Structure 1
Amino acid sequence: MLQLIVGSNEESAALELSDCPDTDVVDVVSLLDSQRELTPEERCTVNNLAFSWDLPPINVDNRRWLAEKMQQIAVIERRRTQIKQLRRGLKDCSVFYMIKERPALAQVLFPRSAEQVMDSQTILKRIIWPMPDSDNEDDHSSVEETCLLTGFLRDYIENGSSRELNQLLKFWTGWSIPPQHLYVEVSNGITLPVASTCLTTLKLPLKCPNYHSFKVNLDASVGSTEFGFGMI
């Protein structure tokens, strides 16, 4: 992306499948990159995406070209507005020509999210924990279960590795940079943890017998999403 931001030729940009933020496009390009004969259903999936982007249907001669073209559209052409905005912003703050002349400085300005070291206190100090319902003071079991679950979450964060905490944060907020506040809710209407990324809210199921079950469920939810807004 740095090559495109500083104005290099789009044709010289080296694209990888991991650069694509759209899982449906990744699936289609993976089919095209495979060496096997596609089934009628798979060909239909490929052609549906091709037609939606005004590309020709798949045939024996254009399979490699179609994969590269779809990847270029997903990674570059659908981000063109954002690339222009980034270029304009870098020029306004007098950084554009500096990184154009010294590309190595871009690693300092734009560190990769995978290289960020996340610690438990960075997350814990931002969490707004759920408060007992003042209108339901007699429901001691609900308060006890809520306290139990928040304790499980605290243990999960305190014992998590940097990679696990980064994945949790991305699931929680859709981004790899911690916001000012992280909210936690406990709900009786769900069976697995879910996240409302726009509200930076992690919702935990009320019923959970022990920490092991809590960790298994949270790991399953966190692992169900590969991409976050931070990768788009």
Structure 2
Amino acid sequence: MEKLKSGFHIHFANCSVTRLFEGEPSHLVPSASHFLVESDLFLMAGRMMGHSFLHGGPCLSGLSPAIVHVLLGGTPETCTVTLEDCPDLDIRDTIRLLEGESNLSEKDKVEIQDLAFAWDLPPLTEGNRKWLFEKLLIHAVIGRVIRQIKQLRRGLKETPIWTMLTQRPDTVDLFLPTEEAGIICPQVLLQRIKWPQADDDDDDCPVDTKCRVSGYLREFITTVTPAELQSLVKFWTGWEVLPSSLSVEVGAGRYITASTCYETLRIPCHYKDYAAFQSDMLVSISTCHTGFGLV
């Protein structure tokens, strides 16, 4: 699921990374590349999204509300499209020229005319400025990727998730959450951690050492950025979905490791100060996208 947002290392059109979705956070739209449609990659993406949700896995967050509206059967004319939904910055800047009522230079008019003619729309006049702005924006966000959206819908229909989405519209926000909804709260994470107990039998790691190292982890959780906290959870469990309970073990060892199957974080007891712990922890969680947490 992470690859759906960050991209696959598939060399299409001389690109080192092939992205299925482009744009700003909370405004992601399908890529307009026809190579991806011809390869049925959006069909694959729909299947991935459906099966991941059904098995309790992570969801694809941050899709544009306009894309979600059309994906679930709405029409482009009834969706709310904003300039932030347009992933192509050059096209966005050209369409932005039509916003408001400021006077346009001859250069601006030429850029708008060229874009309108390229998409089979009429030229700019004094009376159709607002209408042309809306038409250009809808085509930039929806019209160019309508095949991608249909293919994504086909993939979802191949999983039982489509029945749930159509019969229970209230589940859409759970299946396609906003970018903000995917942010992990430090307080919630701390409440789900099973900390080392004082009566654990471990001659190599005294109780005061366990308390000190556990305190370092608590401070790390409450002070890092949301992105780093998400990486910690992914390093800890294998994905960014919080389980009902997580475990921490403090004992002999050299590196910080994670047993993702058992949702257990193992921290060596040799740390004497927070700076060293923080440095090693940041290095460890940076491996969450490439392995199972072993440095």
TM-score by length of 1: 0.57
Which shows bigger deviation, 69-78 or 156-165?
Answer: 69-78
- Work out whether 1:222 is the aligned partner of 2:285: yes
CA distance in 1, matches of 2:50, 2:4: 17
CA distances 1:186-216 after superposition (whole Å, capped 9, x unpaired): 1313x22111112111111121121001011
**How many residues of Structure 1 are paired with residues of Structure 2 in the alignment?**
173
Contact 2:50 2:159 in 1 (8 A): no
Equivalence for 2:160? 88
Which shows bigger deviation, 68-77 or 115-124?
Answer: 68-77
What are the residue-to-residue correspondences of 1:46-65 with 2, within 5 Å? none
What are the residue-to-residue correspondences of 1:57-136 with 2, within 5 Å? 72=41, 75-76=44-45, 79=48, 82=51, 87-91=159-163, 93=164, 95-96=165-166, 106-107=172-173, 109-112=175-178, 115-136=181-202
Equivalence for 2:120? none
- Work out whether 1:186 is the aligned partner of 2:155: no
Equivalence for 1:155? 219
What runs of 5+ residues in structure 2 fail to find an aligned partner?
17-32, 52-154
CA distances 1:116-151 after superposition (whole Å, capped 9, x unpaired): 232221011111011235545xx4863222111101
- Work out whether 1:19 is the aligned partner of 2:1: no
CA distance in 1, matches of 2:159, 2:36: 28
Return the offset for 1:183: 0.4
Please say which structure displays the higher CA radius of gyration. Answer: 2
Q: Which amino acid aligns with 2:256?
A: P
What runs of 5+ residues in structure 1 fail to find an aligned partner?
2-16, 35-63, 100-104
CA distance in 2, matches of 1:114, 1:30: 31
CA distance in 2, matches of 1:228, 1:20: 18
CA distances 1:152-200 after superposition (whole Å, capped 9, x unpaired): 00111122232222221121112222111110011313x2211111211
Instruction: Give the secondary structure class of the aligned counterpart of 2:261.
Output: helix
CA distance in 2, matches of 1:113, 1:172: 21
Structure 1 210/108 Cα, relative in aligned 2: closer, same or farther at 3 Å?
same
Structure 1 84/27 Cα, relative in aligned 2: closer, same or farther at 3 Å?
closer
Structure 1 119/132 Cα, relative in aligned 2: closer, same or farther at 3 Å?
same
Structure 1 31/202 Cα, relative in aligned 2: closer, same or farther at 3 Å?
farther
Which shows bigger deviation, 198-207 or 78-87?
Answer: 78-87
Q: Which amino acid aligns with 2:189?
A: I
Return the offset for 1:108: 5.6
263, 266, 269: which is aligned to 1:206? 269
Structure 1 219/30 Cα, relative in aligned 2: closer, same or farther at 3 Å?
farther
Contact 2:205 2:269 in 1 (8 A): no
CA distance in 2, matches of 1:117, 1:65: 32
Q: What is the CA RMSD across the aligned residues, in angstroms?
A: 4.2
Structure with more of its chain in helix, by fraction? 1
CA distance in 1, matches of 2:43, 2:211: 44
Return the offset for 1:77: 9.6
Equivalence for 1:49? none
Structure 1 155/222 Cα, relative in aligned 2: closer, same or farther at 3 Å?
same
CA distance in 2, matches of 1:198, 1:141: 24
Q: Which amino acid aligns with 1:193?
A: I
Q: Identity, % of aligned pairs?
A: 27
